[in-house]
Amino acid sequence: MLNMNFTQSVSIDTHSLKWVASPMPGVVRKPLAREEAEQGHATSIVCYEPGASFSSHGHPKGEEILVLEGVFSDQTGDYQAGTYFRNPEGFSHAPFSKEGCTILVKLHQFQADDSAHLAIQTNNAKWHRVNDSLEYLGLHHHKDEQVFMMRSGAELKVDLDEALKGLEIYVISGELLENGHRFSAGSWLRRPALNKKLHNDSQEDCYQLGSDTVVWIKMNHL
């Protein structure tokens, strides 16, 4: 197992990790959290070399994908960088990439009654302007779980105090500051659910986005 204690904080610079071979030629990955070798809960950065493919397969408890670079494809179409997917249990596909791609993948993590099937091109979506320096794009909401993106035009603080049941952040571009600690593009952070009996305002973390920063965020899912 790898990083499967959800009561502990995890911070990883994914750019510093070495690629690990997968069972399919031309597909390599950087495991961030994994329950078992080839099944169960997993979060990874996966790279398809040009022309690489996987045979058709399904995903018990769902699959979540954010295309980081290149073009990711399956029988439903071609999806460029910036596309966010949710493929629920029961959906099968045979993914491939003609030109190569890099994706953030989360497997086996859907709630039992969450069957949302989504494909959102975030670069073309209508973002909500929070203020002059911050935009917000909601991607998915199921019960307490929320998935969204934020992008900044200037350095500013952001409010993530509602993440009482866990927080996960991937820095797509720019940089994120957490209590003064800097996390550059490619950083993956996971923070545990808070103990409500011990939590008070003095314990709230301070998050700040650097100028021209884009982050993917998932909260209240642990």
> Taking the domains of the chain in order of start, what are their residue ranges?
10-120, 126-219
The 10 Å Cβ neighbour count of residue 99 is: 12
CATH superfamily, domain 126-219, is: Jelly Rolls (2.60.120.10)
> Sorting pLDDT into bands at 50, 70 and 90, what band is 94?
very high
Residue (of 95, 119, 107) closest to 31 by Cα position? 107
pLDDT score for 20: 97
| Same fold flag, 10-120 and 126-219 | yes
Predicted confidence (pLDDT) per residue in 178-212, tens digit: 999 999 999 999 999 985 544 444 456 799 999 99
Predicted confidence (pLDDT) per residue in 96-145, tens digit: 999 999 999 999 999 999 999 999 999 999 999 999 999 999 999 999 99
Residue found by looking up tokens 């039992």 in the block:
112
> Whole-model pTM?
0.94
Residue (of 58, 45, 102) closest to 79 by Cα position? 102
pLDDT score for 57: 82
Question: Cα–Cα–Cα angle for 52, 89, 188, nearest 5°?
Answer: 60
Q: Which residue has the higher pLDDT, 47 or 38?
A: 47
Predicted confidence (pLDDT) per residue in 148-185, tens digit: 999 999 999 999 988 999 999 999 999 999 999 999 99
pLDDT score for 203: 52
Is the domain spanning 10-120 CATH 2.60.120.10? The answer is: yes
What length is written for the chain? 222
> Sorting pLDDT into bands at 50, 70 and 90, what band is 38?
low
